Amino acid sequence: MEWRGWAEIVFTIALTVAVGWPLGIYMARVWAGERTWFDPVLRPVEAGLYSALGIDRGKGQGWLGYAGAVLAFSAAGFVLLYALLRLQGQLPLNPQGFDGLSPHLAFNTAVSFVTNTNWQSYGGETTVSSLSQMLGLTVQNFVSGAVGLSVAAAMARAFAADRGETLGNFWVDLTRSTLYVLLPVSIITALALVAAGVPQSLLANVTAKTLDGADQIIALFPVASQEAIKQWGTNGGGLFNVNSAHPFENPTPLTNLIEVVSLNAIAFATVVAFGRVAGARKEARALISAMVILLSLGAAAIYAAETLTPQPAMVAAGITDAPANMEGKEVRFGAAASAVWAAQTTGTANGSVNSMHASYMPLGGGVAMFLMQLGEIVPGGAGSGLYGMVVMALLSVFVAGLMVGRTPEYLGKKVEAREIKFAMLAVLILPLAILGFSAIAAVLPVALEGLLNKGPRGLTEILYAYSSATGNNGSAYAGLTANAPWWNTTLGIAMLLGRFAYMVPVIALAGAIAAKPKLKPTAGTLPSDSPLFVGLLIGIILILGGLQFFPALALGPIVEHFQVLAAAR
Amino acid sequence: MSVSLARSGAFNQAVIMTALKSAFTKLDPRALAGNPVILATEVVAMLATVSAAVAITGGQPAGFAIQIAVWLWLTVLFANFAEAIAEGRGKAAADSLRATRVTTKAKLIIDASRNAIIPTPAHELAPDDIVLVEAGDVIPADGEIVEGVASVNEAAITGESAPVIRESGGDRSAVTGGTTVVSDWIKVRVTSRPGSSFLDRMIAMVEGADRRKTPNELALAVLLAGLTLVFLIAVVTLTGLGAFSGVSLDPMVLGALFVTLIPTTIGGLLSAVGIAGMDRLLKVNVLATSGRAVEAAGDVDTLLLDKTGTITFGNRMAVEVIPAPGMRPEAALRAALMASLADETPEGRSIVDLARGLGVTAEIPSGANAIPFSAMTRQSGLDYDGKDAGKMSWRKGAVDAVIRTLDLSEAQVPAELRQAVDAIARSGGTPLAVSENGALAGIIHLKDVVKPGVKERFADLRRMGVRTVMITGDNPVTAAAIASEAGVDDFLAEATPEDKLRIIRAEQAKGRLVAMCGDGANDAPALAQADVGVAMQTGAQAAREAGNMVDLDSDPTKVLEIVEVGKQLLITRGALTTFSIANDVAKYFAIIPALFVVSLPALGALNVMGLSSPQSAILSAVIFNALVIVALIPLALRGVRYRAIGAAKLLSRNLTLYGIGGLIAPFVGIKLIDMLVSALGLA
């Protein structure tokens, strides 16, 4: 541990929030349908889309209509993507001549990109054609992120409404989030990445002669543009197998900083926009504070675990002043930049990596996994982080809010049985999918075939996979060979549950909240913008998350940590 | 009844014995259907019993299994006991009420013109029957007096032994079955059906016969059921994860882990908290028709208060006598006193009291002639022929009336007195003029006196976010003066009963909850519309039926206490929930290392409490989990103290106490139990 490392962590997180803030102010205008700088160019496009698709932009949808539209759109996206991946061998723009994907891999991949997870059971550069990449995966990179942003917009409107009947129009939210938010930031980021040395090419492989005369085939892609939306859409699916550890995806510390900031800024921006639309700016600041504190704690814990835990191999070799654990980390980034990326990517439902989490010390990887198990809310995925955090805020207010002697309220909305029902339905999905699938996989021989390790590490591989899938994160703990029917199928189901079995109750929750009268705060109202509330929220998140997953974590990373300590003694 | 309640309120032996008995009858799973947490505990207790039995018949060591099973059953029993004891206190009160229920013969009038009477059993009376009730008779049913006036002893209902006057017409015409006519006679039109009289409803309420979950209880039950499911998933999946890790897990121990994790503390005490809330209301002599009303009381945003009787004493009182120029203050005061000696109205008495307080006293001279108030003269007083001392006369009355009698023009009234009259009127008071022997002696300042302590209570309410709105028939000037003196947030002057209804609807449209109290028949619509409508027991029958609470003392200030009881109820629920959830952290640190340490010795590091053995750790956690329910029964019944210190401070206080306290307490408790368990060699 050194001060530079800590400074790097603090600087990165601060910069992320600083970028997210103005973006959030802008996003609030986009959600509200107000004028923006891009209107001269984008208004005609937007209007053309609406008239071509027959969308009445003024027509609001109730929660059922909104949820129905989300599901219909996602289902259509899945079918198209599945077909594209299966048939890519017969389709053009396939310079490397890849075959179509197997049914289970195509299912897993299509689900993965439609659910904004971007779990990849395959190596990108050796599996997916340029057409599939551009027309399939990239399209979903944009629109799956925009779906999350849309639901966040609906949630914001629900809190603003006073006995409201509608949540807005999903098709309009989707279009505007894509056109006005994700597209511009991606273009700007892509240009910046190109300037910083990231390749952007439509050519197939380049063959180079190595120093000892062998032929080396170097895969080329339009990397910079993919990279931009991979990060901004909280997608995380890399073109290359090793993701942002690959020198084409992430060549320098500068590109690393650009990428790690663009990975997370949208989540903070969503909260800022929520605060503005819901008329709760102070309360939104409290949510951001809680996110920043938890994220910083996560990054600090990973960094500490990577630098302080004694490494048995080093101890055995008689090296007492071993530096940070550098296994699986890029030397050009170092331990701190890797730690902060690991925390940001697991806290964000992004899942792109610049180092291999499986090579972390047990607690380092364990913290990354725990950040996902919290439900991807610190600060969470595009849109999804916000609504996940709102669910936690509602539960916090409900549990502790009674202690001020009133039926709890959050942002002027009473929290009653209906809200608690939907909130609990949503949060139940996490233990059900993560622990449920893990427990089955842990005893199923066909599942265990894909496992590299036994013991606690093997269990961590299983838990990590289902945590990543359910949290719609997409990062992986290497060691698990997931491209097999069992894993592709169950991980796909976990992703669907984590996305839609969570999102639909959340939209129903938004509907219930919108329908309530908007109350003015009084001296008797639980303040939801104070440091006390931030502390309460953090406490509830950690206790609820911890209580669910502590036994499983004890058998995985925690016991491994103590074993490492014992071995290094 | 207040007397009997005070007796039954304590943990007396009879209540405890009954509660112990019903703790066992409540083991019937059907009785626990509404309480998923305790039902789940019972299911695990059954499984543990079977597994202990299997161990015994198999000849295996079963001591540990038996102890776990016993403590799991005790957990369920303790929860049942908590509910039973809360119910028991209500039942005891109901029994004392039931004893007053009458089985007398009523005098049913079958022919009004000839006063023909048939003795009829009280339970055979139907609505609209007319009965005659004479001195010494018990009123056979609830009803409305159609003829006559009588003094009625209502001690059976209110505990107040002084008789009250009941008469036909107006707001004092309602009588309650079970009360006794002390003098005179009345004819009563029966309004209640047999079995649904006020007394019957009171008994039902007190007993909690019709106890449905309140909205907040429902929401909490959903949360608790959700948490139970979460922990079910966490524990059941542990079998798979444990198998992978080479850990063999005893199902009995997993069951114990599950029970300690699910929120048994709040699950066990939830209904007791609710019943105790109604019980606390009963202690202040308020009956709530439902727990829902008690809960709504805690949520009230706006309190509509009648000025008279609630904020001020019912009558205006003299506070000052301003002497006419040239008159000594004592002389003016004496003139006012003489003018009021014969005046038996509260206003007149207040003038006598004021004079006495200032050391001026007098008796009515013998042979004096009292001049009563008349609508014509608008003044009253005293004439006295003092023979040698000459004829004396004192008058007091409306300023313009006295001046006219004295034949003064406006301009002849001294400027000082004119200014005093204006100042009194501006301040919302009432000026009266006093004359002595045909000369103006001074001005009496009559004032609506705000009850002591009211202002502080309103300030408390404001700190808790409750707005107070004063309703009065006074003119706006008077109303504004009293409003500012009492410190209410808003007022409505020259209000009609329809205005009340309108205000309530307007507040509710803004999403606010409104409480009010009332006694008149014309208050009934507003009482019905309000979220918390407190009817006065002495009020009209229509009002008593419209409200969802009845104050047996007929004290309108009671509504403030009702709000506090409601808040206390919600705070208690929140505190126990927070405590319950926070407890789980320590339980994990007790049980998780105990579960795994044999197969994975490295996890011994998590045994931060240094518990003596895995079995002892698990047993201690289970014992702690059961005992904490018992330990918290008094808190659940008494309620967490409510303090009007503002939401932020209250939260931080209770969060520290029950959140942080809930984190720490079980670490200490489990460690102590473990020391005891290992010292006794139980595990």
pLDDT for B7 beyond 50:
no
The pLDDT of A243-256, averaged and rounded, is: 90
Rounded Cα–Cα distance for residues A260 and A354 (Å): 9
Lowest mean pLDDT among A33-47, A107-121, A310-324, B115-129: A310-324
pLDDT in tens, A474-501: 888 888 888 899 999 999 999 999 999 9
In this prediction, residue B8 carries a pLDDT of 43
- CA A407 to chain B, closest CA, distance in angstroms equals 6
> Which comes out higher in pLDDT, residue A241 or B673?
B673
Lowest mean pLDDT among A415-429, B338-352, B599-613, B648-662: B338-352
CB contact under 8 A, B596 and A555: yes
In terms of CA atoms, which chain B residue is nearest residue A567? B602
CB contact under 8 A, A419 and B219: yes
What percentage of chain A's residues is helix, strand, coil (to nearest 5)?
65, 5, 30
In chain A, residues with a C-beta closer than 8 Å to the C-beta of B267 are none
Q: pLDDT grade, residue B396 (50/70/90)?
A: very high
Rounded Cα–Cα distance for residues B351 and B345 (Å): 10
> For tokens 């595009």, what's the residue?
A382
pLDDT in tens, B188-216: 988 888 777 777 777 776 676 556 788 88
B459 touches chain A (CB under 8 A): no
The pLDDT of A176-186, averaged and rounded, is: 95
Q: Cα B52–B53–B55 angle (5° rounding)?
A: 65
> Which comes out higher in pLDDT, residue B535 or B208?
B535
In this prediction, residue B211 carries a pLDDT of 65
Residues of B numbered 159-188 whose beta carbons fall under 8 angstroms of chain A's beta carbons: which are they?
none
pLDDT in tens, A407-426: 899 999 999 999 999 999 99
pLDDT for B496 beyond 90:
no
Contact (CB, 8 A) for A541 and A290: yes
pLDDT in tens, B637-646: 999 988 888 8
Helix (H) or strand (E) holding A532: helix A531-553
Q: Which of B37, B232, B241 to mutate to test the interface with A (most CBs of A within 10 A)?
A: B241
The pLDDT of A222-245, averaged and rounded, is: 87
Q: Is residue B1 exposed (0-12), middle (13-18) or buried (19+ Cβ within 10 Å)? A: buried
> Which comes out higher in pLDDT, residue B417 or A82?
A82
Percent of chain B with pLDDT over 70: 95
Q: pLDDT grade, residue A520 (50/70/90)?
A: confident
CB contact under 8 A, B647 and A525: yes
Contact (CB, 8 A) for B566 and B592: no
pLDDT in tens, A444-476: 999 998 888 888 999 999 999 999 999 999 888
Q: Which of B532, B651, B654, B658 to mutate to test the interface with A (most CBs of A within 10 A)?
A: B651
What are the φ/ψ torsions at residue B185 (nearest 5 degrees)? -145, 155
User: DSSP letter string over B153-207?
Assistant: E-HHHHS--S-EEEESSGGG-EE-TT-EEEEEEEEEEE-S-TT-SHHHHHHHHHH
- As a residue count, chain A comes to 569
> Which comes out higher in pLDDT, residue B359 or A71?
A71
Q: What is the mean pLDDT of chain B?
A: 86
In single-letter form, the type of residue at position A216 comes to Q
The pLDDT of A272-296, averaged and rounded, is: 95
In chain A, residues with a C-beta closer than 8 Å to the C-beta of B573 are 402
Contact (CB, 8 A) for B412 and B377: no
In chain A, residues with a C-beta closer than 8 Å to the C-beta of B233 are 428, 431-432, 435-436, 548
In chain B, residues with a C-beta closer than 8 Å to the C-beta of A524 are 301, 463-466, 646-647
A379-407 b/e (C-beta count within 10 Å ≥ 16 → b): bbbbbbbbbbbbbbbbbbbbbbbbbbbbb
A165-192 b/e (C-beta count within 10 Å ≥ 16 → b): ebbbbbbbbbbbbbbbbbbbbbeebbeb
Residues of B numbered 201-260 whose beta carbons fall under 8 angstroms of chain A's beta carbons: which are they?
215-216, 218-220, 222-223, 225-226, 229-231, 233-245, 247
pLDDT for A434 beyond 90:
yes
In chain A, residues with a C-beta closer than 8 Å to the C-beta of B469 are none
Helix (H) or strand (E) holding B442: strand B439-450
In this prediction, residue A204 carries a pLDDT of 66
In chain A, residues with a C-beta closer than 8 Å to the C-beta of B216 are 402, 407, 416
From the list B111, B107, B138, the residue with the least C-alpha distance to B120 is B107
Contact (CB, 8 A) for A185 and A30: no
| A135 DSSP assignment | I
| A245 DSSP assignment | G
In this prediction, residue B74 carries a pLDDT of 96
CA distance to B173, B198, B345, B519, per residue, from B170 (Å): 6, 20, 21, 11
ipTM above 0.90, yes or no: yes
In this prediction, residue B100 carries a pLDDT of 62
Residue B519 three-state SS: coil
Rounded Cα–Cα distance for residues B633 and A278 (Å): 42
In this prediction, residue B2 carries a pLDDT of 38
Q: Which of A402, A548, A550 to mutate to test the interface with B (most CBs of B within 10 A)?
A: A402
Q: pLDDT grade, residue B385 (50/70/90)?
A: confident
CB contact under 8 A, B466 and A524: yes
pLDDT in tens, A187-198: 999 999 999 989
pLDDT for B102 beyond 70:
no
In this prediction, residue B208 carries a pLDDT of 62
B491-496 long-range Cβ contacts below 8 angstroms, 24+ apart: B491/B307, B495/B471
CB contact under 8 A, A405 and B642: yes
Collect all residues with Cβ–Cβ distance below 8 Å to B649 and sequence separation of at least 6: none
The pLDDT of A257-277, averaged and rounded, is: 94
Q: Cα A222–A227–A229 angle (5° rounding)?
A: 110
The pLDDT of B516-542, averaged and rounded, is: 84
Contact (CB, 8 A) for B403 and B433: yes
Of B230, B510, B600, the CB nearest to A431: B230
Active-site option among B200, B279, B306, B551: B306
In chain A, residues with a C-beta closer than 8 Å to the C-beta of B595 are 551
In this prediction, residue A321 carries a pLDDT of 74
Q: What is the token pair recorded at A163?
A: 């006995």
> For tokens 């006991």, what's the residue?
B81
pLDDT for A357 beyond 70:
yes
pLDDT in tens, A293-325: 999 999 999 999 988 888 888 888 888 777 788
In terms of CA atoms, which chain A residue is nearest residue B663? A543
CA distance to A35, A153, A259, per residue, from A19 (Å): 21, 20, 12
From the list A139, A137, A233, A179, the residue with the least C-alpha distance to A50 is A179
Contact (CB, 8 A) for B171 and B521: yes
- CA A276 to chain B, closest CA, distance in angstroms equals 22
The pLDDT of B494-513, averaged and rounded, is: 88
Contact (CB, 8 A) for A51 and A333: no
> For tokens 């019993």, what's the residue?
B49
User: DSSP letter string over A391-450?
Assistant: HHHHHHHHHHHGGGTS--EETTEE--HHHHHHHHHHHHHHHHHHHHHHHHHHH-HHHHTT
Q: What is the mean pLDDT of chain A?
A: 91
Q: pLDDT grade, residue B10 (50/70/90)?
A: very low
Rounded Cα–Cα distance for residues B653 and B372 (Å): 61
Q: What is the token pair recorded at A436?
A: 């449920």
CB contact under 8 A, A417 and B218: yes
pLDDT in tens, B138-170: 888 888 888 888 888 887 777 666 778 888 877
Residue B448 among the catalytic residues: no
pLDDT in tens, B404-415: 888 888 788 888
From the list A495, A492, A478, A490, the residue with the least C-alpha distance to A430 is A495
pLDDT for A542 beyond 90:
yes
In this prediction, residue A448 carries a pLDDT of 92
Q: pLDDT grade, residue B264 (50/70/90)?
A: very high
Helix (H) or strand (E) holding B379: strand B379-385
What pTM was estimated for this model as a whole? Answer: 0.88
Q: How far apart are the first and last CA of chain B?
A: 52
Lowest mean pLDDT among A304-313, A549-558, B295-304: A304-313
pLDDT for A370 beyond 90:
yes
Provide the sign of the torsion angle of the four alpha carbons B287, B289, B290, B292, taken in this order: negative
